[in-house]
Structure formats: structure tokens, C-alpha cells
Structure 1
């Protein structure tokens, strides 16, 4: 039998048992052929828009705005529709209404006699924008996204042509009725949210949702509600995942970093982590020592806040030294990690106040170590053990944190291969000779894709497994992913944590990057990585985050002749002086790839009042003459496979291998 759609010869029968199962869903030739027609129509639709965002670092207001404006996609649709018919101020006002409908409506300053006209004008405009952004989807997919209370009305307004004479009055009557029944506000909010929904078909988060900014939990709440999402784990995400799973070393890391950026309320108030025992311990043991290195970053000390900040600094210092001790236990268990140089508490001369790092002696800026026994520096005190046990219970039993971590596991992974591109937060660890780094896990050696797959599996084992031995193995791997020398999420030989706190000399602060970062301008290196993951080296791309692009120093996010795209441009405010911008995002639509840079975001209120987008520059990376279709995507491959299966089923029906199931009128009663 020849497939009329593809021109290929179709096998007579392929796996009758499977086809019989498929026949339950499509019991007749008519049902099967109808579905083939539907699938073929979907294959010819334009490819959906993909939105790539990286290294959000808790900056929820900036993230929310970029999500709402889809990195300029919505504004482009407005320009396409109204480029020559609306003033620039009107287009800005319409865009802001779509991004923040409730807030914008609350700010309206229009008298009652004019409000109905305002509603009428903007309802018609919003309907046109919604038609435009939903045009690349099937009617069925669009309908499924409708809010229930307006589903019928939206179906009528979006799918009927108001220019038809016999529908003109009907179309207008719907709008008038919405206004007359005082439902215009609710309808505007509903259709604006729908426009945001249709502007992007798939969201990719290339790691590091957590740390530095104040609102990672709010971002996770937003992602829970997002319609289509994948996440590539970042090293800062991994410490929260491991802490929730019960890793004492990663619990200490989470508390340390949260204190460092003055966001302990995230732990206490929003995740329900009890820090009182730690605070009490810190006040009792770290009363008079040097605290300047442990004061929260970016906070001015005043007479009013000094005591509070000093308490945070004491908590910070106490948990850091606990961290150094529990990390040593992991390093002892895993000599194959090659991380003994991170164990510095036994390299301190406590009488001289010096420490040896890589054989060089440096002076310490503080000699206060009240909980360390110089003869056994890595032994936890009984009080420290009690604090860790309490913190562990608190982290593991936090329902909200578990909810967010489970989303990271269900939607996340070490990497993602999607529509011809490789998405990876940090790097592909390399040797100096350009080959992939080998890592040893449980006596086995892994490198390349196999290493990432095994590390992914171990992270899941650390969270989900109840066997104490296997769980510990997984938790240790999660810690390694945070700071290990061959971790693809970290990408450096060593994390100089102790050195930066306790040594003023900058020499030991340096953190040597993996050779990947030296060679990532070389197209052949990136092609080798793409081929390792089964991708087309000519047309595929590797998308990274993790290392901010220093735009102020002339660095470009486009590397290796466009094969590597680095989209960490500094979402986190802590990085913006270094980068000069507020982040990159990437848009991949049916027309090609666009790299978008963003201006610093001040506040949601200012964005609404000034009707200001934060998109600053859009750079077209690749443009195609013929629009990419669903047929050209990973989804298209799956749909083509389904078409082939259905053609086999039709063939089996027609050759008598399977009989149609046609119910009589009586059976349908």
C-alpha cells in the first residue's frame, strides 16, 4: 500500500497486537483517516514560539515582566497589526494593558460617559491581537486554553469574521452586551492573560532560579502555573534540591547564601524553616569576633539596622564553619572527587593565625574559631549536630519547598535536547586536550553525555530513594554538582569559599575555569558537543547560561560562529555593574532565532505608570526564507510517527487483518 501523503510504500502489517490496541481508539477506517487529516493539518502549522530565559536568581519582578511581554513578542504583534494606524503612545498603552490588565484598569482616569467607548475600543483591539497570536494553533488547542466563564464568547469572537455582513451586528452585540453587563473589566483581564498564554508555546529555563534575589519562591509559583515548560538545573538550583532532600552540606550552603544576600525571610517566613536554634547558637558563640566579611551584601549599615545585620552576620559565620566540617565528611567518603584541597580547617596554624593554601601560607583576617578543636578541626560539636538535625527536619518537612523541588525534578534535568538545540546551564567539562572530562562514580568511569545522564539519575536517587546507602550516594552527587571540579553545573577547578572569607590577599581567590570556557569560541569544539548529543552540527546550537556576559567589556553572547549562545547577561542585580545590562533572552519562532537584551528593571509600578518595556535590543541571529513548520520540530517527528501508525491501521482494516467496530443505534443507547 502506498502512503498518498508521503509517497512511501507502507508495510502490509506491522505488529498486529499494537494495531489492535490502536483500533480501540480509532475503531473505524473513518475515525483513523479523520485523525490522519487532523495530524497532517497540524504538521503544516507554523512552529510555536520558544522563549529561553536563564539565571533569574530570584529577581521575580524582572522575570515576571519578561514573561508577560514574552521578550518583545507581544509588542511585535501589536506593531504588525497597528504599525501605521495607532500612535506610538497608543501601542505602548495597549501593550501595558496586556501585560498588567488589572493594575492598568485600576489606574484608569476616565469619566463615566467616556468609559464605555474606552472599553469598546480596547476590547476590539485586544480581540485582534488575540486572533493574531493564536493563529498558529489549532482551534482545539485554542479552545482548551479559554477560561470557562468566557469560553463560548471567546470562541465566537476569535473564530468568526466580523467583516461578514450577516455576522457584523452579532459580533458587535456581543461586545455591547459585555459592556452593558459590567463584565468588560473581567473580560479584558481574561483575554489579556490569554494573549500572554498564546505568545509563547514553550518556555525554557536554563538554570539558576534560586539565590541572590529575594523571590525564587514566587518565581517557582509562577512556573507551576505555566502551560509548557522545561528547566535545566543550575548549580544554585541544585543546592536547594539537595537541601530539601536532606544533604547537611547543601542545607548549610543554602542558609549561608541566603544570609549572605540578606534574604533569611525567604527561609523563615515563606518556606517555614526554623532558624531560631541557629540564631541562638550564633549569638552565644560568635559575640565579639570580626564580622565584616560576613555582613550581608548590598545593605548599608545604619544605627537602626546594625544589630539585626550583626545577628545575620553571626548566623552567616556560624553556618559557614558548620558547612566546612560537613563538606569534609563527603570529601573523606569520596577520594575520587579529588577535592581534598577544599579541606582547609586542618591547614590553619591557629596560634600564628595563618593558613596554607596550595602550599602557600597566607595570613587570616580573623582568628575567631570558637567551635573548632585545632586537634580535630572537622568534628562537629554536640550543639552543631543538634542544629543540623533540626535544620534537616525543617528542610525535609517544608511542604512548600518540597512542592517547588518536585517541580524542578518533574520539569527539569541536567540538559535538554529540543528542536535541534542543546540546552545546558553551565558547560560540557573538557580536558586541556579538548576531550571530555572523565568522572568516577561508584567505581565506574563516565564522560560526555553518559556522565550527565548518570549525574541526572543520581540526583533523582538522592531525593526519591529511601535506602540510606543509595540516598547518601545521591546526596553526595548533588553536592558534587554544586562545586565539584568536573561538574557541568559549576565549571571550575575549585570553589574558593574559605579563601574569600578569611584571606584578604586576592591571590588564592582565583577560581580556574574549565578548559571548555577557553575553547568555547572554537566551532569545532561546539560541533563535537552537539554530535555527542546526536544533533546536527551544521544547524544545531548549544544554549548556555551560568557565566554572565560582560557586555561593558565588549564580550559577545554569540560564540563559535553562532553555534554557542550564552544568555546569562545579568538578571541578578548583583551582576549588573559587571555586565552592563539586565539579562539576555532568546526567542526561537517560525522565522528564526532572535537574541534579546534587556535594560535594568526598576519596578512593576514604574513599568505600568510609564508604560515601559525593558527590551532594549533585538538581534536577529538566524532568519529563514521559508517559515519553519510543526513538521520541522520534535513534535512534528512524533506526529509523523503517529500518522504512519494510523496508515498501518487503515491498511490492516482494508486488508482484513482487523475488523471495524461499528456500534448499532441500540448499542449507543
Structure 2
């Protein structure tokens, strides 16, 4: 039975039996609607332009809606143009202004067509929910157009609305708002399965976008967690995020997106490596900087400087925490400075770059005073970056290490297994867990590190956990035996660069292993699926994202431009609507051409599971919550009937008690 105090509180919102009955009727009607469409994306890696296109196009399903409604009325080119208008209305309007002889007529036609598509994607929702999504200023007119009927007496009324919109120069705004409303309605729930940050240039814009989305959750990836650790002031995490983004030429994001001051690093790097070309450290230039075009030779020096700082700081943590079992990653003390070699796991290799003036052979993991000043400056910038801290707090409020929803399990990396397919016991911070219990424990520890660090530890010290989960061999976010950053930078022999994956990635080809994981998280293995990211699927080499007989889907297909040569495609979206589950396979995103046109490659959509019957909201986790609300309201109704709670009715602007 619902607590009487809770019923009293509920009565404040529903003060009489009429309001209770009205809400029960509303909730029962909602349960009969089809479930909204869920979209799953992973490994965005800062590729904002491609990501926002995937979301605004609903991964190809909006084009399917356009074909469904206009295939007999519009040519393929016209349908493609309508799709382009929805995907990027601002750019398409700008182009049409130049190309259309009668721009007003084009606007009227565009609005009519957008209304039809908007009606179609809104059909799964109540009118009240659609109204809440509509923009404030244009919402009334959009509402009238969306819920128009076929009554001939009202045709003139609707035409007059559109004519007035055009006459008062509001057509462009209306078109943009209709296009964005269509995209919002088409994607009811957005799941980001990790790795928003690093490599690509605009993770800050992805975070801004996610913070405006009405229904989003995030499963943290190892790249997200290392940023979370940096936001705590942890120097190992800070050095890692700076090194990665300097190495990918992401200076606009670092300095202008997040306000991180790189001048002390640049100044010291220029001083120390003035005559050093730092050839092994030249950046990967996938995107040009608009506001902060750092010369590539200086970027290489900065990369080398922060990399050395990183290896020193990490070495200090490894020495202080033998329980992490990372001793094999202590390599600075294995350098033979006289011969220019390094010993890695018993084998000696020549160094590609032996100019290491900041490393003291007698104490190789000690930061110089100048290096400490650089790290202090970076820490201060990160801790004082309101934008970054706001984004990290959003990761906590809308994110978790894993999520279960509507029968499906989502996590970024892996679940630790032994070679023979048993859950592997992992000990972190003195606690040993495995499977779902391990993920629950680590989720709590990550939150405590940021919000409530253990007594006697600073937040930065507690964030050593984030650093370990970034690269540790027992980390469910990393899933490899080691991170070979040092080897890639300093050793030419590519055999040393290899990072061996854990048994999980072999075992997930077996259906029984996937069943075991789903059941361990309390889900039904007869229809539950696992959604996974982290390891790019090399489709060009014949790999498939579908594992375990259709029970697990690895949806990292290479949204990041850094991976597209390896994968052969540009990412996957997993789609789960009321009728089926599907994989949408994307081609590389094409930016605007100089003439304002843009090529949108329609993805290949493959249905991977058809539901035996249409899934309604009553069948979802949200439906379960709604049914619980109905139960509470029915108990409140009984309390009103018994008189144990007094009813209140409005009268002339005031309320009076029936009793």
C-alpha cells in the first residue's frame, strides 16, 4: 500500500476525485500508444557534424517517411531536396534564396510538405506531448497546421495561416522550426554508448547538443572517464587529454571551446625543443583550426613535452599503487640514455627519439619545476572552465557505466571474463566483484570520486580510479592488456604497438555467453539485446557488428574520421522502434560544397529483429512506471471515497473543501 503521507502529497496535485479520474484516463490512454523510437550511437569522438546529421536525419528513417508520403508525387531529386531541408534547414534555405525565382512560393510549398512529414512522425505521441516540443513563438501556428482536419470549411483558414507566415517574413523561421521538430519527434530517446571525447574537433558541441535533447542517456566510455578524471584535477588524466588533443590538432576545442590555457605548455616546449624537429610527434591534422591555428612544428614540440609529463606522472601513480599491477608500464627507468635504447618486457629496442633533456636518469619520474608549473596551469584552467565542468556534471546526471532499458543492456567496453567463459573476479580499491555487481560497484565509486571522495583523499587523488579505468587491463572500459602509447611514440617496431584484447571480444561470438550476461543484469534472454561500442568493426575486412547469434551488436563503425580507413564505413546507428530493431550503416559525412549544396548519403538499413507484435508503451519500462502511477492514483481515489483524505474543489478562483 502506498504510504499515507505520499497520498497526502499526491492530493496536492490532484485535489479531488475528478482530477484523479482525469489523470487515470490520460495515463491509460498513453499506455495504448506505440513505444517511441530509440536510437543508439557510440564512439562519436568529437565528430559533431556527422553526429548531428545522423540524429537530424534519424539515421535514414526520415528519408523513408518522405518516400512513403511523396513517392508518387515528387521526383527522387525533389524528395532528396526535402530531406536536405530537414537535415540542415539553414543551409538549404540559404541555397534556395539564390536559386529560386519565386522564393515565397517555394516557402509555401516547403511548409506544406514539412507539415505532412511532421504529422507522420508525431503520430506516436499525445497532442499534449507534441505541443510541449513545439517552439514557444511559432507553436500556436504549428499546432493548428499539424492537427488540421479535412473539413473543407477550414481549408481557407489553414491557407491563410501559411500565407500570413510568408507575408510577415516568418517563413524561414517556421521552416527551420518545423525541420527541427521533425528530427526531435523522430528520435524519441537517444542513447550514447560512450566515447564522446577525443580525436575529433568538437566534443564540446556534441555535449551542447545533448544538453538540449529532451530524452538522452550516456553510457560512459574510457575517453569520457579520462575527461571526468581531468575535471577532478587528476594530473595523469589531464596529461592524457591534453596529449591526445594536441596530437589531433584540436586547439580550437581546447582553448576556445573550453578555455584551457596552453600558453605555458607551448612556451616551455618551444624552449626545451627549440632545435628538435620532434618528427615522431607531428599531429594528425584531420580538421583545421579556425581560431587557433598552431603551427604543426610547435604542436609537435607541445605533444612531446606533454607526453613526457604524462609518462612521469603515470609512473608516480604506478609506484605508489602496486595493487594496480601496472609495473610493466614503468618504462622511463628502462631507458639506456647512453645507447639510445629502451627495454620493454625483456627486449631492448632502439628509440626513435633519444633527445630527452627533461628526464633525469637518476630520478626519471620526477617532474622538473618548469613541468610542474605547466601542470599547475593546466589544472587551474580545467577546474575553472565553467563549460567543461557543466558538461562533466551532465555526464553524471544523464550517464552511467551501464544502463538497462526496455529489455536491452547497454555498456561501452566489455565485461571481464576468464578464458573459459566465466565472469572474472576484479579487485579495485580493495573490493572484489564480477559481472553486473562489478559494474554497479564501479559506477558508485566513480560518482563518489567526483561528489564525495573518501575521507583523507582529495578529489584528484580519488580520480586515480578514472585514470585506471582509462587504461587498466582489468578495466571494463578498456578491455586490452596494455595501452602502448610510449611504444607508439618512441619505438619503430610495430610489434610493440600491439594491444591485445581481453577474452570478452572472442567470447561474444557465442550465444550462451551473451545469454549469461543478459541474465546477470536481470533481463530476459528470450528477447533482450546487448548494445556495445569501443572496438571499431572492420567491415571492409569482413567483420560483422552482429555477435552471439543476434544477441549483441557492436555499433562502433567509425564515425571518427581517424578510423574510417580501418573500418570502411562511417559508423552505425542501432534503431529500436515499436515494430523492429535495425542497424543503419553510414557512409562518411560530406560537408557543404562551395555552391551551398550538400551530398547526403542515405544509409543502408538492415532489419535485424522483427517484434512478434507491435510494442506499446504499456510493454516498456516507462509503461511499468505509468502503471505504478495509476495504482497510486487509484489508492488516492479510494481515500477520497472513504473520506480519509479531504477533497478540495475550486470556486471562483479559490478552493473549498467538500467535507
How does the TM-score come out when normalised to structure 2? 0.94
CA–CA distance in 1 between the matches of 2:554 and 2:575? 13
Equivalent residue of 1:107, what SS? helix
The structural deviation recorded for 1:424 is 0.7
Q: Does structure 1 residue 538 correspond to structure 2 residue 526?
A: yes
* Correspondence list, 1:209-608, <5 A: 209-289=196-276, 291-298=278-285, 308-465=295-452, 469=457, 471-605=459-593
CA–CA distance in 2 between the matches of 1:111 and 1:635? 47
CA–CA distance in 1 between the matches of 2:105 and 2:12? 54
The structural deviation recorded for 1:37 is 0.8
Q: 2:605 aligns with which of 618, 630, 639?
A: 618
1:178 is matched with: 165
Q: 1:239 to 1:176 in 2, by over 3 A?
A: same
Q: Which sits farther off after the overlay, 521-530 or 282-291?
A: 282-291
CA deviations 1:296-329 (Å, max 9, x no partner) are: 125799xxx9992221111111111111111112
Unaligned 5+ runs, structure 1: 1-12
On the 8 A contact 1:100/1:608 being kept in 2, the answer is no
Q: 1:540 to 1:36 in 2, by over 3 A?
A: same
Q: Which sits farther off after the overlay, 553-562 or 345-354?
A: 345-354
Q: 1:117 to 1:284 in 2, by over 3 A?
A: closer
Runs of 4+ off more than 4 Å = 109-113, 298-301, 605-608, 663-666
Indicate the RMSD between aligned Cα atoms, in angstroms. Answer: 2.3
CA deviations 1:460-496 (Å, max 9, x no partner) are: 2333347660524421000011101111111111111
The structural deviation recorded for 1:14 is 4.7
Equivalent residue of 2:128, what SS? helix
The structural deviation recorded for 1:562 is 0.8
Equivalent residue of 2:319, what SS? helix
Q: Which sits farther off after the overlay, 461-470 or 451-460?
A: 461-470
CA–CA distance in 1 between the matches of 2:479 and 2:412? 10
* Correspondence list, 1:628-643, <5 A: 628-643=615-630
Unaligned 5+ runs, structure 2: none
Q: Does structure 1 residue 27 correspond to structure 2 residue 25?
A: no
The structural deviation recorded for 1:500 is 1.4
On the 8 A contact 1:597/1:615 being kept in 2, the answer is no
CA–CA distance in 2 between the matches of 1:600 and 1:192? 22
Q: Which sits farther off after the overlay, 204-213 or 621-630?
A: 621-630
On the 8 A contact 1:585/1:597 being kept in 2, the answer is yes
Q: 1:84 to 1:119 in 2, by over 3 A?
A: same
* Correspondence list, 1:182-221, <5 A: 182-221=169-208
The structural deviation recorded for 1:433 is 2.6
The structural deviation recorded for 1:144 is 0.9
CA–CA distance in 2 between the matches of 1:171 and 1:116? 17
The structural deviation recorded for 1:579 is 0.5
Q: 1:159 aligns with which of 147, 150, 172?
A: 147
CA–CA distance in 2 between the matches of 1:429 and 1:264? 36
Equivalent residue of 1:609, what SS? coil
CA–CA distance in 2 between the matches of 1:554 and 1:120? 48
CA deviations 1:228-249 (Å, max 9, x no partner) are: 1111111112222211210101
CA–CA distance in 1 between the matches of 2:164 and 2:484? 66
The structural deviation recorded for 1:616 is 2.7
CA deviations 1:122-171 (Å, max 9, x no partner) are: 2211111111111111111111112121222122211220x112222222
Q: 1:119 aligns with which of 100, 107, 123?
A: 107
Equivalent residue of 2:295, what SS? helix
CA–CA distance in 1 between the matches of 2:470 and 2:99? 58
2:35 is matched with: 47
Number of positions where the alignment pairs a residue of Structure 1 with one of Structure 2:
652
CA deviations 1:63-82 (Å, max 9, x no partner) are: 12112111012111112211
CA–CA distance in 2 between the matches of 1:25 and 1:439? 48
Q: 1:341 to 1:110 in 2, by over 3 A?
A: closer
Equivalent residue of 2:338, what SS? coil
On the 8 A contact 2:407/2:527 being kept in 1, the answer is yes
The structural deviation recorded for 1:17 is 3.2
Q: 1:64 to 1:604 in 2, by over 3 A?
A: farther
The structural deviation recorded for 1:543 is 0.5
Equivalent residue of 1:561, what SS? coil
On the 8 A contact 1:455/1:477 being kept in 2, the answer is no
CA–CA distance in 2 between the matches of 1:107 and 1:452? 50
Equivalent residue of 1:615, what SS? coil
On the 8 A contact 1:458/1:473 being kept in 2, the answer is no
The structural deviation recorded for 1:24 is 2.2
Q: Does structure 1 residue 660 correspond to structure 2 residue 647?
A: yes
